[in-house]
Homo-oligomer: A and B are copies of this chain.
Amino acid sequence: MKVLVVFAHPEQRSLNGSLRDVAVRELEAQGHDVLVSDLYAQGWTSAVDRADFPSLPADARLAPAAASKQAFEAGTLTPDVKGEIEKLLWADVLILQFPLWWFSMPAILKGWVDRVFAYGFAYGVGEHSDKRWGDRYGEGKLAGKRAMLLVTAGGWQEHYSARGINGPIDDLLFPIHHGILYYPGYAVLPPFVVYKADKLDEAGFEAAAERLRERMRTLATASPIPYRRQNGGDYLIPSMQLHAGLEPPEARGFAIHLARAEASISVAASGTKARCG
């Protein structure tokens, strides 16, 4: 397979740098082709602004979505953005690797999403009408590919558990998993998360590295998070609300968008296991 790792840490000599090397070595040992977009090393530009749309007249009002659509269609996106789009089309698997900063991705990676996920490429794809709300959430130009997050967090695993004060990690990552990766079509694999990242000793690192190697060996076979397809009949169109009664009675919030409860997804916050098929 072809694997793209988008790496967003400013220091090569970091836990993230070491984990990236472990992942890349294991993937290459398995015979996969690997490309790394090292955003800091590439000097990636984070902010969407007029410079993204060189064909926009100097006195024209900048409407980012409209400008993105126009530039994607006309082929006038900037070379750095076009390069990343080419890599995404090339790769069978996308891995986004980052330290969790303020419960989300670092700005440089958010800027990669904001700039590379162009209108007509990652959104605004397919028919938009009262009958069909585009090709998204399971369909789109990146359908048939897989994606996963490789994340380090300073806090404890308990703090990110179903009852932990930070909120459940699956809920914190939902805007990325569902809103950024599933949206343009990726099948999203459960995340690989290392907790207490600042306190990892040699043995802890080795344990994490082995766990990561195993995940790299099962990229093609692991079951994706079972998000519901927008156009699979589960949602009313155009209100895009989930039909009543589809979810387990215990499910609330983001968890109702899972086609079935999986062990890796915390639908039950109070310690009870969701009963469903």
> Quick one: which of B114, B250, B255 contacts A106, CB cutoff 8 A?
B114
Beta-carbon nearest neighbor of A198 in chain B: B65
Interface residues of A in 77-111 (CB under 8 A from B): 99, 101-108, 110-111
CB–CB B244/A269 < 8 A: no
CB–CB B252/A180 < 8 A: no
| Main secondary structure on A side of the interface with B | loop
Q: What string of 1s and 0s marks CB contacts (under 8 Å) between A8-19 and chain B?
A: 001101100000
CB–CB B270/A171 < 8 A: no
Interchain nearest-CB distance for A149 vs B (Å): 14
Give how many A residues have a beta carbon under 8 Å from the other chain's beta carbons: 75
A117 vs B103: C-alpha distance in the bound complex, in angstroms?
13
CB–CB A255/B253 < 8 A: yes
Q: CB within 8 Å of B: which residues of A?
A: 10-11, 13-14, 40, 44, 46-50, 61-65, 99, 101-108, 110-111, 113-114, 117, 137, 154, 156, 158-159, 161, 163-168, 171-172, 174-175, 178-180, 183, 198, 230, 235, 238-242, 244, 247, 249-257, 266-271
Q: List 12 A-B contacts (CB under 8 A).
A: A10-B47, A10-B49, A13-B61, A46-B111, A65-B198, A156-B238, A161-B241, A164-B242, A167-B174, A167-B179, A244-B270, A247-B270
